[in-house]
Amino acid sequence: MRQILQSSAAMALLLALASFVNSCSSSATLAKDSDAKIKKETVAKIIKKAYAIPGTDVNYTMALLPAGTFSIGTPSDVPNRSADEGPQKNIRIESFWIGVHEVKFDEYKIYRKKNLDKAPADQPEWDVDAYARPSPPYEDPTFGMGENGYPAVSMTQLAALQYCKWLSEKTGDFYRLPTEAEWEYACKAGTGQSLYFENKDSLDRYAWHYDNSMEKYHKVGSKAANPWGLHDMIGNVSEWTLDEYTEDAYASFEDQAINPWIKPTSLHPRTVRGGSWDDGVKKHSCTCRIKSSFKWKERDPQIPKSFWWNTDSPFVGFRIVKPAVPPSPEEQQAFWDMVLGG
């Protein structure tokens, strides 16, 4: 990334990237979660299902994760643990589906470009004009790093949520972003560790990070999956979650809380997870929490700045989830009213 832009633009982007850095505990330490209830062998029971976006031949794959209990955060005795990774709490997670990969540009552009959003054969009444869509970006959101097969990046959390709402309407299933708790549960994959592999020297096999990425993101799924078959949970691009970032989030969770969520009260900071191709290995951990920043729009000259795009975050994308037991239509509408402002 440090060579993508030149001169003053490059400096501005570097300043934005600096705001992306939090003091997360070193991924060199494998933080053991002794309370994990779901074991590695569960991977044999993980159901995966491929879907096509209706009216297109663009596919995505979801994995059904079991309900379970795990300890969110990092143990207090881990050296250099960031304060926001504790205190650990035992959290109960209900079963949910999660994307095996980060959402690809192939998928996102069906939503982004109205002319590609075709009416399915069983939905001839599909109205492409009924949905809010991203405005044209100020500049190429990919920075020339690739589209088809690559993770969609540079969108705001609002844009990611609007995609989820559109996909929900298009498919009839309820999709949204994961909560922080769901994301960490999926990342740890029953290992009880901040890294889901045994040897810290194996990071290159599982993740794209600054030292091996050649300063760009890569096609999704090109690194090994975690024990539950999910690719790029660590590295490639960081991923939006539903939660507002607060340093003491876990202190507010009750022990054995079910599906906790820090509901946003302001635009920033929101929480992203996983570390990216442009981050050092310190960010590549299931427990590292990263807060969003207004600086991710620093080079956007528009007034007001875009609601849809960040000019300075080609390292952030997202992954979708859907509850195994969908909420009622009324609950779904209440959710969209809350996260999208009604």
pLDDT band at residue 16 under the 50/70/90 scheme: very low
In a domain, 14, yes or no: yes
Q: Is 8 left (phi over 0), alpha (psi -120 to 50) or beta?
A: alpha
Handedness of CA 144, 319, 185, 231 (dihedral sign): negative
d(CA 34, CA 40): 13
Residue 227, C-beta contacts closer than 8 angstroms, at least 6 positions apart: 40, 42, 43, 189, 190, 191, 196
The pair of structure tokens assigned to 63 is: 């994995």
The answer, yes or no, to whether residue 147 has pLDDT greater than 90, is yes
The answer, yes or no, to whether residue 7 has pLDDT greater than 80, is no
Contact of 117 with 111, CB cutoff 8 Å? yes
Q: Which of 263, 225, 259 is nearest to 246 (CA)?
A: 263
pLDDT band at residue 20 under the 50/70/90 scheme: very low
Tally the domains of the chain: 1
- Check which CATH number belongs to the domain holding 266 and give it: 3.90.1580.10
d(CA 12, CA 16): 6
In a domain, 1, yes or no: no
Range of the domain at 311: 7-340
The pair of structure tokens assigned to 332 is: 């779904």
The tens digit of pLDDT for each residue in 262-304 reads 999 888 899 999 999 999 998 999 999 999 999 999 998 888 8
In a domain, 160, yes or no: yes
pLDDT at residue 277, as a whole number: 97
pLDDT band at residue 182 under the 50/70/90 scheme: very high
Q: In what order do the strands lie in the sheet with 257-258?
A: 68-72, 89-93, 257-258
